[in-house]
A and B are shown apart, each in its own frame.
Chain A
């Protein structure tokens, strides 16, 4: 059976992810959470849309069949890939655990 994410067991990884949403090495526990979150189970798939490379990102939702258009959420513009990863992590955390993460992502200097 695939690992079941729970708020009690996995809350400890939230700050680790916020600190470095895209990084070389992670704790095995956080990587397991991410792998499970990212399992494709059908339906729309979240994607990252670069409206201007390296500067301007929005989140999109790609439908299961190509006949339907990609939904572009251009009401939320994000300045970096990392900010987009954090936004998606928060959504998935809420979807899985019911908890809301209020913390925002803090951009790091390049």
Chain B
């Protein structure tokens, strides 16, 4: 089990800046810390082993620590809401999604310390409850009939707190035959003593946290003074507003307003605007969605719902444990704060590497002479996979991996702490997809040493830790490089990468925002040389928001390998209003960017490349200098070969430049390397690599019209082969040949009549 973990307040910082680390200890009250350069995070004894270099800093030494917890679950709060001490009626449209959970909150004006106030909730099984707390104690009314999951209901609750009278009216929007879920019931409870403030989908608890969360959608919550019949709800939601009813209006929250923000708008006379906590999902279809439009930007009145989840998490909000000021002369690169609270053993891991990147200074006066090589750290992909828990939340992973599902100490800890929040691959407890992922929390798989359940047999590294194979190789070969992260590129655009001649990707740069895509394409079109050292890149569109800094949004729309599928009508990002999904379905297939695009996926073993005819093309001579081999990469730490996990190939129909050379293609894949679903219509019986020659990675090269070039390995596993045989192997040699030529300022030829190679 994990006894110490933490996270930084950002994923990139410049020399001289201070970065805050938030650490939690489950044992002891102090921890040791030191800043390290991350060189190789893969502990596989078949490889070079763990490599870190200590960087003296003010982090060195012992620091006090304690256990920090996470308060997950989304909600809306209105802090200045006055006490509901006179009779009132609450209306809302409601779509519950997790009725096996008990004690959920729809609306609360509740003082948990004194047990006073009003609470409207849901009991396990789907029964609406009304709880009044006052001088005579706490009493509760329970609706006699339950709601059904994922059905819309009109709910009206009329309460006279002073007299203790309650009426619950519950009506399904779609009346099914033989159903029995309509409620119209009166109750007599003890009077309530009014509390203050108001919350939806959560209740403030005595310890200051928010609990008793609701799972499901709420739409158009309304408060009226006085006791009113349920039949008024239709009139209340009409536009323009009924003037007569408007005189009784206390609040009417219209969730279709300011969808891209953390606020909710009260259209009532008192403007009791709400604040959202822990990033519930917005841009959600409301009770009245008809399908006539699928974009909340065009038909906001059909998107008046917010989907709250009891396991939503935006910001763990841990206290800072140590603030590290980065040395002014610290080179750009991958770093981590190593923290430990004792020696690890078979029962517990008592150390952690809290990862981040040091970027070059933006201030031109401080930049000095920079290297011409940049590693674009795929932090969007790291965030997308943050705390990837399909091995916990999705069953049947064993059959996909073709071997037992691996759990390390981190995974056991993750299992016990669902409040860590899921990745964009996971589903919430109610089965809906996780559409937002935040880096403001411990991310257990963004760490050196993390052995992934998803990686290929052998090292089983994935994303960040797989990228450390490349960090190690660059270090070993003595190449100087800068690091820019995806988020940096999203924020600053082309200007940030313009100074570099060569950009190297990580092993799996899958997620990109529109701003990142545009900047990268502009850089390539202006002569950049891209070394795409991975597979399945530029696959999904994601979005960021200034209202929720540190979080990223994804809608798994339409097509692609989707561990969950967005609901029809919910394909547009709430953060940006952009249509989500695969870049390929947006007319920007990865082939347009990298020359190759996604073709196959398999997680058991990797294979090798067979040299192809284009390898002997004079344009490719520099790539194969000193590499006469027919077979390339029949070795490696990730699945035993250089071609594995996820593969790409050249497809000119999807936008691969017509001049791309197919230097080599992988073969010999197992039946578990499968053609991806966007590549076929009718399902063919020969999806596996043992029966389908479309299942292959193309080692590819092509010049661009601006004198730049593209080089693609088309495989996530490539970098796992770099260190084989003391870094002396054909994968390493090819990578080095390409990098050296790409760093040569001599332009690549742009017509058949010139020879720049």
List chain A positions with a Cβ less than 8 A from chain B: 22-25, 31, 34-35, 38-40, 45-54, 56, 60, 62, 64, 66, 69-70, 81, 84-85, 88, 110
Contact = CB atoms under 8 A, between A and B. Distances in A.
A25 B408 contact: no
B395 A60 contact: no
A66 B311 CA distance: 13
A16 B492 CA distance: 56
A81 B415 CA distance: 21
A49 B670 CA distance: 26
Contacts of A35: 399
Contact of A22 (B43, B403, B412, B416): B403
Nearest to B46: A110
Contact of A49 (B45, B412, B607): B412
Contacts of A69: 416
A26 to B, nearest CB: 8
Contacts of B451: 50, 53
A31 B404 contact: no
B457 A51 contact: no
B670 A48 contact: no
A24 B690 CA distance: 11
B577 interface: no
A25 B412 contact: no
Nearest to B347: A51
Given A25-B670, A62-B415, A47 B407 contact: yes
Contact of B403 (A25, A49, A52, A81): A81
Given A54-B45, A70-B407, A110-B45, 12 more contacts: A22-B604, A24-B605, A38-B398, A40-B398, A51-B409, A53-B43, A53-B451, A54-B43, A64-B395, A85-B404, A88-B404, A110-B46
Given A62-B392, A66-B418, A50 B407 contact: yes
B404 A40 contact: no
Contact of B405 (A48, A53, A64): A48
Contacts of B43: 53-54
Interface in B403-458: 403-409, 412, 415-416, 418, 451, 457
B39 to A, nearest CB: 18
B407 A60 contact: yes
A21 B451 CA distance: 20
B406 A48 contact: yes
A92 B392 CA distance: 21
A28 to B, nearest CB: 8
B395 A51 contact: no
A84 B346 CA distance: 17
B64 interface: no
Given A51-B346, A54-B43, A66-B418, A84 B412 contact: no
Given A53-B451, A62-B392, A48 B347 contact: no
Nearest to A35: B399
A83 to B, nearest CB: 11
Contact of B640 (A24, A84, A88): A24
7 contacts: A25-B670, A38-B399, A48-B407, A49-B408, A51-B346, A51-B409, A81-B403
Nearest to B451: A53
B45 A47 contact: no
Q: Which A-B residue pairs are the 8 nearest by beta carbons?
A: A51-B346, A48-B404, A40-B395, A38-B399, A24-B605, A40-B396, A38-B398, A47-B405
Contact of B415 (A24, A31, A64, A70): A70
A110 B44 CA distance: 12
Nearest to B672: A31
Nearest to B405: A47
A110 B392 CA distance: 30
B331 interface: no
Contacts of B405: 45, 47-48
Interface string B575-606: 00000000000000000000000000000110
Contacts of B404: 46-48, 81, 84-85, 88
Contacts of B607: 24
A46 B44 CA distance: 24
A56 B346 contact: yes
A45 B346 contact: no
A109 to B, nearest CB: 12
A62 B389 CA distance: 13
Contacts of A39: 396, 399
A78 B453 CA distance: 18
A85 B346 contact: no
Contacts of B125: none
A50 B408 contact: yes
B327 interface: no
B361 interface: no
B197 interface: no
B371 interface: no
Contact of B392 (A25, A48, A66): A66
A104 to B, nearest CB: 18
A62 B390 CA distance: 13
B406 A50 contact: yes
Contact of A31 (B403, B418, B605, B671): B671
A54 B347 CA distance: 15
A22 B604 CA distance: 9
B725 to A, nearest CB: 16
B345 to A, nearest CB: 8
Contacts of B44: 54
Given A53-B43, A60-B407, A66-B392, A45 B640 contact: no
A86 to B, nearest CB: 11
A35 B406 CA distance: 17
A22 B457 contact: yes
B346 A52 contact: yes
Contact of B412 (A40, A64, A70): A70
B44 to A, nearest CB: 7
Contacts of A49: 407-408, 412
A16 B312 CA distance: 46
B395 A25 contact: no
A52 B406 CA distance: 12
Contacts of B407: 47-50, 60, 70
B302 to A, nearest CB: 34
A62 B416 CA distance: 11
Contacts of B391: 47
B415 A25 contact: no
Contacts of B408: 49-50, 53
Interface in B664-695: 670-671, 690
Nearest to A64: B395
Contacts of A46: 398, 404
A31 B399 CA distance: 10
A69 B415 CA distance: 9
B368 to A, nearest CB: 40
A85 B604 CA distance: 14
Contacts of A34: 402
Nearest to B44: A54
Contacts of A38: 396, 398-399
A46 B640 CA distance: 25
Residue with the greatest number of chain A CB neighbours at <10 A, chosen from B46, B404, B406: B404
A51 B2 CA distance: 11
A94 to B, nearest CB: 17
Interface string B44-83: 1110000000000000000000000000000000000000
A45 B671 contact: no
